[in-house]
Amino acid sequence: MTGSAEAIQTGTLPVPEPHPTEVLVRLEASEVNHVDLFVRSGAFPTPLTFPFIIGRDLVGTVAAVGDAVENFAPGDRVWSNSLGHDGRQGAFADFVIAPADRVYRLPEGIDPAEAAPVLHAAGTAHIGLVREARLKPGETIVVGSASGAVGTAIVKLAATMGAYVIAGASTGDEEWVAERGADVVIDKHADDFYDQVNQAAPDGVDVCWDPKGDDDFDRSVPLLAHGARVIVMAGMQSSPRMPIGKIYTRDASVLGFAISNASAADLAEAATAINHMLAAGRLKARVGQTFHLAEAAAAHQALEAG
């Protein structure tokens, strides 16, 4: 059953056999993100088969492949960032089954422990910026909370795409966010945050995205340029007021998305960009704590505690 972190159990299961279009991967590294918490708790309903293996992302080595799989072989280093959802078992196991069309080669020389923490965040950033926001070179984007994993990835990818990036950072994170490529870094807790955004973008903001869900539309929407896009993807319990008149008179749009719903094609496109950035050393993450598989409950609790 879904429930609190205390519901997580560890034990032994048979090593699964891959179906014709599946890959069996020996896990080397994974990570915990907020979507893991939503699925485990039942807050994000999705088909689950019990016993259900939690976990979304993996980096590992192919141990076996199904009869119809031609692009992978035992010994290949690979990664995936869309397990543990929609009937797929998760990644927190020594041996993990993954659909072959959701598995990607790991670039040579990349440490699994360095890759695993960025996979979910970078995939979210790519799909949000490319498919949803349709970000163009020269446009201005405001990333309201840029200190976390997703915010960091948004800043880095948006800068790589040629956007002018205004980022909100937590106290002490200003240098980290600037190093990711932000053109302007503002204290996200400053009382005059939106006034500073307005000064930095006097012609208006083309894309506004707060990956933490701390949206204040009464203050952010007036800063939008004509045709702007607002991305929402967090704050499951949040119900901010929306100034509709200032949205439609700007031909602006509010777009919500969850990477869990992304198609295999969207994820594969994102994976190509992620691999280029991994190989170039452009994706970096800060690891707060490291856990063994048997400490999965403690890992969930640590993330819930912030």
Q: For the domain made up of 5-117+287-304, give the CATH fold.
A: Quinone Oxidoreductase; Chain A, domain 1 (3.90.180)
Closest by CA to 225, choosing from 208, 245, 244, 242, is 208
CA pair distance 275, 236, nearest whole angstrom: 30
Q: What is the DSSP string of 201-253?
A: -TT-EEEEE-TT----HHHHGGGEEEEEEEEE---TT------HHHHHTTT-E
Please check whether the domain covering 118-259 is classified as CATH 3.40.50.360.
no
Q: Which residues pair with 207 in a beta bridge?
A: 141, 229
pLDDT of amino acid 26: 98
| Torsion region of 167: left, alpha or beta (phi above 0 gives left; psi -120 to 50 gives alpha) | beta
Q: State CA 171 to chain mean position distance.
A: 22
pLDDT of amino acid 184: 98
Contacts for 142 with CB less than 8 Å, ≥ 6 apart: 166, 167, 168, 197, 201, 205, 207, 208, 209, 220, 223
CA pair distance 40, 223, nearest whole angstrom: 38
From first to last of the 306 residues of the chain, give the pLDDT tens digit: 899 999 999 999 999 999 999 999 999 999 999 999 999 999 999 999 999 999 999 999 999 999 999 999 999 999 999 999 999 999 999 999 999 999 999 999 999 999 999 999 999 999 999 999 999 999 999 999 999 999 999 999 999 999 999 999 999 999 999 999 999 999 999 999 999 999 999 999 999 999 998 889 999 999 999 999 999 987 777 788 899 999 999 999 999 989 999 999 999 999 999 999 999 999 988 888 999 999 999 999 999 997
Q: Answer whether 5-117+287-304 and 118-259 agree in fold.
A: no
- Residue 77: what are its φ and ψ, rounded to 5°? -90, 130
Q: Exposed, middle or buried: residue 108 (CB in 10 Å: 0-12, 13-18, 19+)?
A: exposed
**Domain ranges across the chain:** 5-117+287-304, 118-259
pLDDT of amino acid 240: 87
pLDDT of amino acid 135: 98
pLDDT of amino acid 234: 77
